[in-house]
Structure 1
Amino acid sequence: MTDTECGIRPTFISPPSVDQELWPHVGSSLSLNCTLQLGDSCNGNFTWLKDGKGKQDLYGEQQSVWNGLNSSERFLTSILDVNLTTEEDFGKFTCQFQTFSASFTLHKTDKAGHVAAVLFALCVVAVLVIGSILYLKCRLSARLWYRNKYGDPEINDGRLFDAYVSFCPSNIDTKFTNFILKPHLENRYNYKLHLDETSILPNTEPSAELLMNVSRSRRLIVVLSLAYLEQDWCQNSFRDGLFRLLEISHRPIFILFENQYKDVPAEVTQLLNSQRGTLKTLLWKADSVSPASEFWKELRLALPRKISLVDGKGDPQTQCQDDKDPMLTVSSEAADPDPDGDLGVRRNLYKAPPPRMAPETHAVDREPSGDVDISDLGSRNYSARADYYCLMTEPEL
């Protein structure tokens, strides 16, 4: 732009840029403001052009001239009202004063309706609901899959049983333990259980037999029925007995019956709930009979991970250590190809020469020799399997 007869160069106050782009919606209205700062000797009006042509009568225009704080400053303003009713109303609007001009380019955009926003919100809610349902239905199955794939199998720990089951010899408890719990865990998942219907704490103190049996088991399961709670140690001090059980067993499992739960003393349920981090409480319901119920899934998560073995391969403890001892394998017919050795010892045995016999005095004095050759006993390995046999010392008892 160059100076004119106005004496100074006119400056556009509005629009901020010489070519301004706008994206209004169809059906909206705009007021295009074109303001120019002039010198005191400049006179004239704005001329509006649409797409390089003259303005149509459909658009209203208001022009005004006003002075600034300084008497030498004059401002020329022109406001063009545009109603965007059709696609033809969009385009380039130019306000021109002599050789100075500024433009407004109106681009058409689709009006953002509420339908898309509502559909998006419904989709988000549906995803959250489906995700919550899948989490509630599949969380235990997912945890079981992860545990069975990456969990610790707990082998080579010297334990003979997977769980020690303590129950009361009542009609309901015996049927549940022998006809539901034991067959399901042993036949379906190959767990090995040790059942005990005697009082687990007869004198509120663990007996030596109890300590031995529990130490041979990886978990402790207590069928906590109303008949079980009628035992002396439960009635006298269930709290002290529970803490003793927590000392001798890692995270014991307590099974309660739903139809008896309301009759369980409040102090018992409160104590079990307060120890959720150190024990596991399961509730047997009417729908827990199904193998796919949450009861069996939670019980399997509380029990150790099992490893599927090929038939005839023996216990994983002996299998992992490549033990050929016929006393520790399933089939003992041809378990040890070297009967002269023991515990898998494979070495050359050198026997000492036979002992010298005393000169024969009389044929009657001679007796059949019953001596056994024990010259190779020193080469055998009789070290105890500390990882297989569970030994208890007197201080521990």
Structure 2
Amino acid sequence: MADAACGVLPDILSPQPLQQELWPPPGSSLSLNCTFRLIDACNGNLTWLKDGTALEGLYSAQQSTWDGLNSSARFVSSILDINITNEKDYGIFTCQMLNATASYILHRTDKAGHVAAVLFALSVLTALVAGSILYLKCKLNVLLWYRDKYGDPEINDGRLYDAYVSFCPSNVDTKFTNFILKPHLENKYGYKLHLDERSLLPNTEPSAELLMNVSRCRRLIVVLSLVYLQQDWCQTSFREGLVRLLELSRKPIFILFENQYKDLPAEVTQLLNSQKGSLKLLLWKSVSVSPSSDFWKEIRLALPRKVALPDGKGDPQTQFQEDKDPMLTLETDAADPDPDGDLGVRRTLYKAPPPRMAPDGSHMAERGPAGDVDISDLGSRNYSARNDYYCLVTEPDL
């Protein structure tokens, strides 16, 4: 009868929207508010349903009624208190007046799904962060492993040294080069370095000796200190000198000292940073002394790959050479047995006459003048062709 008398359904002021979904955790308390506005002197009762069934005193509801400013409007509100204690407390709670309804949907399973999704997202994020940190920590080790396994060993290329090291003969630079850089690379990793403390580019054009020395080395290392930059060629035109160095060697290695870096000329640092794709910049820090520091890993990546030989000696390029002539052997202490040069004779064609006998039975060569030379062993010396040295020819000689 009330429905027919009203003619207009009541307005639902709460909840908005008419269906609200909630995910209350177990043990929590809720207050569900449902408010209607009646017009045209309509009258009706506000009732609560759970899953389509009327509540039977399981939950307490407090209902209040008041009139609006307009005498034709009346408001009815009911607050349902719910304590989430078990599975039965979850479901659909509907408030109904006349034919107008609104509902609250209390979920538990969907909330658990959200928790699982959040936990999964957090685990993925944690794994990504840990993987990034692990990659940054182990990146150089991975690159070294890959290079040592699949990299080019650069052997049989006619080079006698792995690196040409240019440094300035100052106290700090000499100690660093001779007592840190060279012993560590040679004794620990088996590299062979050629040290040169002279000015690398004293003139506008590289000298023939410099070309010869650099051509015998696979890499170029420059200990770029403040003293090194005080050389004439660095002060006059460091840019032109750097271009020359890039022409002489493939991706040269520049070693800078951390305690001197801020004092380097701005032009030098800007030029080196602009050429990072053509050269390798390494910064020597206080922690670089450790054999496991990143400095040694980065310089090994910039140097050629070393090959472990069966007997652990030398480069296959020079290991099997039989020629022991002092003129073709680098840094030997042995003296040339024939300082006057090879006379071009062979034992099979020409033989030296037998030594003359003195009246007392001794050889005359033992007592003869100092100018007499015994050439009887010239045919036994090996002057076979070698392929591990260069001959420089300039254009005027062609």
Q: CA–CA distance in 2 between the matches of 1:91 and 1:329?
A: 86
Residue 250 of structure 1: aligned partner: 250
Q: Secondary structure at the match of 1:283?
A: strand
Query: Does the Cα contact within 8 Å between 2:47 and 2:97 map onto a contact in 1?
Result: no
Q: Cα distance, 1:300 vs. partner?
A: 1.2
Q: CA–CA distance in 2 between the matches of 1:46 and 1:396?
A: 117
1:136-195 CA distance string (max 9 Å, x none): 543333332332233333334332221111122333333322222111111111111112
Q: Secondary structure at the match of 1:138?
A: helix
Residue 108 of structure 2: aligned partner: 109
Residue 288 of structure 2: aligned partner: 288
Q: How does 1:174-185 map to 2 (within 5 A)?
A: 174-185=174-185
Query: Does the Cα contact within 8 Å between 1:312 and 1:331 map onto a contact in 2?
Result: no
Q: CA–CA distance in 2 between the matches of 1:192 and 1:162?
A: 5
Q: Cα distance, 1:212 vs. partner?
A: 2.1
Query: Does the Cα contact within 8 Å between 1:163 and 1:221 map onto a contact in 2?
Result: yes
Residue 73 of structure 2: aligned partner: none
Say if 1:172 and 1:131 are closer, same or farther in 2 by CA, change over 3 A: same
Q: CA–CA distance in 2 between the matches of 1:134 and 1:369?
A: 70
CA RMSD of aligned residues (A): 5.4
Query: Does the Cα contact within 8 Å between 2:287 and 2:293 map onto a contact in 1?
Result: yes
Say if 1:61 and 1:390 are closer, same or farther in 2 by CA, change over 3 A: farther
Q: Cα distance, 1:256 vs. partner?
A: 2.5
1:30 maps to 2:32: yes
Moved segments of 4+, more than 6 Å: 43-47, 94-98, 100-105, 115-129
Q: Cα distance, 1:395 vs. partner?
A: 5.0
Q: Cα distance, 1:248 vs. partner?
A: 1.4
1:200-231 CA distance string (max 9 Å, x none): 21212111221122122111011223332232
Q: Secondary structure at the match of 1:164?
A: strand
Q: CA–CA distance in 2 between the matches of 1:290 and 1:256?
A: 17
1:139 maps to 2:139: yes
Residue 83 of structure 2: aligned partner: 85
Q: Cα distance, 1:62 vs. partner?
A: 9.0
- In structure 1, which of residues 314, 318, 329 is the aligned counterpart of residue 319 of structure 2? 329
Residue 203 of structure 2: aligned partner: 203
Q: Cα distance, 1:123 vs. partner?
A: 7.6
Q: CA–CA distance in 2 between the matches of 1:246 and 1:126?
A: 44
Query: Does the Cα contact within 8 Å between 2:258 and 2:284 map onto a contact in 1?
Result: yes
Structure 2: which amino acid aligns with 1:329? Answer: Q
Query: Does the Cα contact within 8 Å between 2:159 and 2:216 map onto a contact in 1?
Result: yes
Query: Does the Cα contact within 8 Å between 1:22 and 1:107 map onto a contact in 2?
Result: yes
When normalised by structure 1's length, the TM-score is 0.59
Q: CA–CA distance in 1 between the matches of 2:100 and 2:83?
A: 26
Q: CA–CA distance in 2 between the matches of 1:285 and 1:81?
A: 71
* Structure 2: tracts of 5 or more residues without a match: 5-10, 13-18, 37-41, 66-75, 324-346, 352-383
Q: CA–CA distance in 2 between the matches of 1:47 and 1:263?
A: 84
Q: CA–CA distance in 2 between the matches of 1:369 and 1:189?
A: 47
Say if 1:389 and 1:250 are closer, same or farther in 2 by CA, change over 3 A: same
What is the aligned residue count?
Answer: 320
Q: CA–CA distance in 2 between the matches of 1:136 and 1:280?
A: 19
Q: CA–CA distance in 1 between the matches of 2:97 and 2:169?
A: 107
Residue 378 of structure 1: aligned partner: none
- In structure 2, which of residues 339, 349, 353 is the aligned counterpart of residue 370 of structure 1? 349
Q: Cα distance, 1:44 vs. partner?
A: 11
Q: Cα distance, 1:84 vs. partner?
A: 1.9
Query: Does the Cα contact within 8 Å between 2:45 and 2:97 map onto a contact in 1?
Result: yes
Structure 2: which amino acid aligns with 1:109? Answer: R
Residue 168 of structure 2: aligned partner: 168
Q: Secondary structure at the match of 2:283?
A: strand
Moved more, 213-222 or 264-273: 264-273
Q: Secondary structure at the match of 1:162?
A: strand
Q: Cα distance, 1:283 vs. partner?
A: 2.5
Q: CA–CA distance in 2 between the matches of 1:250 and 1:159?
A: 14
